[in-house]
């Protein structure tokens, strides 16, 4: 990690200001330069032009595990978006090289904000469902895809409704509307019994909040009138409303992924960590406040919906340990991304024209300046599965 910090410090001179300018322009363009908002209109045919490739039906035994649940259904942001943003008018996309650098035999970009697979792909595999979890807006979605689960996630969204508006992506509210359409499609394709089975025994995973803190609150300063505590409360209130809606829609096994130590991801180190690119304590303070509030919210939701299981999967401490002790997990670099300088490149700033790829991605915890590598995701999912999901599906 010392080598990485030294490399970053040398690059900081003359580049830091430009990097801050670039990310600000990127976010402003997403907020103002896209002519049509990504409001869901109630038809999945919006994905007809998307360049997403869904997986074929899986082998009978995925990862050697017995199938324990009928489906995995996912909501959230870029951490779990397998390509829904390909189908909407936004610049927050990852369907171009070098994204997909290690994805499949043909190393193709799919819209996943990663060099390869993302957490929900690994979770689907661990659950015995399939190797890849497809985007709901994929143009060639099959009945099998619907019955074994999809992702409604949209990179750039958040619990705060303003976050999705600023990035012109699919809001959490619209993801719930997509879920209503999904239920109707499952019922039409396989009947009420199949839908009831998915609602009762499927796993419903939710991952959001990082973009609220990193983009809406700090970079865009769009909630500048809020203190750290009041903004965390706003996020928790919107997250609770979303989860209440999901439970009211019939979901009975819900896994909520906690906020990560967002102040320690490479881009936030660059923007808020000073010349030494330290972790941003302000970012992490809000993340911890949200996690504390979500713990209380989950207890309240379980009391309101006694027939449901709702679990907060706390990844904050584990991921922070990966960041500060990368060598303990098989990484050399945890303060820079593999793409470009590693300090600011994400989405359109991480591209095959201006951004070279590091020599050995296996040594990096982060693929771009915001999203972990496939290797890091696999390690994180192993932790989540063993410590939380096994209990949820027991």
Cα dist. 135→44, 208, 329 in Å? 11, 16, 30
Q: Can you tell me whether residue 339 is helix, strand or coil? A: strand
Catalytic residue IDs: 78, 368, 371
Do 243 and 301 meet the contact criterion of CB atoms below 8 Å apart?
yes
Indicate the angle between helix axes 172-190 and 192-201, nearest 10 degrees. 140
The CA distance from 155 to 347, in Å, is 10
Q: 118 with 37: CB under 8 angstroms?
A: no
Tell me the torsion sign for CA atoms 295, 136, 353, 365.
Answer: positive
Cβ–Cβ < 8 Å for 30, 156 = yes
CA nearest to 208, candidates 180, 165, 245, 171:
171
- How are the residues of the chain apportioned to helix, strand and coil, as percentages rounded to the nearest 5? 50, 10, 40
Report the C-alpha gap between 314 and 321 in whole angstroms: 13
Residue 257 host element (H or E): strand 253-257
CA atoms within 13 A on the CB side of 85: 32
């Amino acid at each position: 990690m010392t080598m990485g910090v030294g490399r970053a410090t040398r690059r900081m001179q003359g580049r830091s200001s430009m990097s801050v300018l670039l990310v600000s322009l990127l976010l402003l363009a997403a907020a103002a330069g896209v002519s049509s908002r990504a409001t869901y209109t109630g038809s999945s045919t919006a994905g007809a032009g998307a360049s997403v490739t869904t997986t074929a039906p899986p082998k009978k035994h995925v990862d050697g595990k017995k199938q324990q649940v009928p489906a995995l259904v996912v909501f959230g942001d870029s951490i779990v978006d397998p390509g829904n943003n390909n189908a909407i008018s936004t610049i927050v996309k990852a369907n171009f090289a070098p994204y997909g650098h290690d994805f499949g035999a043909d190393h193709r970009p799919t819209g996943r904000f990663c060099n390869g697979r993302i957490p929900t792909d690994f979770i689907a595999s661990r659950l015995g469902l399939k190797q890849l979890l497809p985007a709901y807006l994929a143009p060639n979605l099959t009945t099998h895809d619907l019955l074994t689960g999809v992702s409604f996630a949209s990179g750039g969204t958040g619990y705060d409704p303003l976050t999705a508006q600023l990035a012109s992506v699919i809001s959490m509210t619209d993801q719930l509307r997509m879920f209503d359409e999904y239920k109707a499609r499952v019922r039409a394709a396989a009947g009420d019994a199949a839908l009831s089975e998915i609602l009762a025994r499927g796993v419903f995973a939710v991952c959001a909040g990082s973009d609220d803190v990193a983009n809406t609150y700090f970079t865009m300063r769009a909630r500048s009138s809020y203190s750290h505590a009041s903004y965390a409360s706003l996020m928790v209130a919107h997250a609770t409303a979303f989860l209440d809606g999901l439970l009211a829609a019939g979901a009975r096994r819900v896994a909520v992924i906690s906020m990560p130590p967002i102040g320690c991801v490479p881009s936030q180190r660059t923007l808020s960590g000073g010349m030494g690119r330290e972790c941003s304590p302000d970012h992490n303070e809000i993340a911890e406040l949200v996690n504390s509030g979500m713990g209380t919210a989950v207890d309240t939701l379980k009391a309101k919906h006694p027939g449901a299981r709702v679990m907060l999967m706390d990844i904050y401490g584990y991921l922070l340990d990966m960041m500060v002790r990368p060598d303990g997990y098989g990484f050399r670099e945890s303060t820079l991304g593999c793409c470009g300088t590693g300090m600011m490149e994400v989405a359109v700033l991480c591209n095959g024209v201006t951004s070279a790829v590091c020599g050995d991605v296996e040594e990096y915890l982060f693929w771009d300046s915001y999203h972990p590598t496939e290797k890091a995701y696999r390690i994180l999912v192993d932790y989540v599965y063993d410590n939380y999901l096994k209990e949820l599906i027991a």
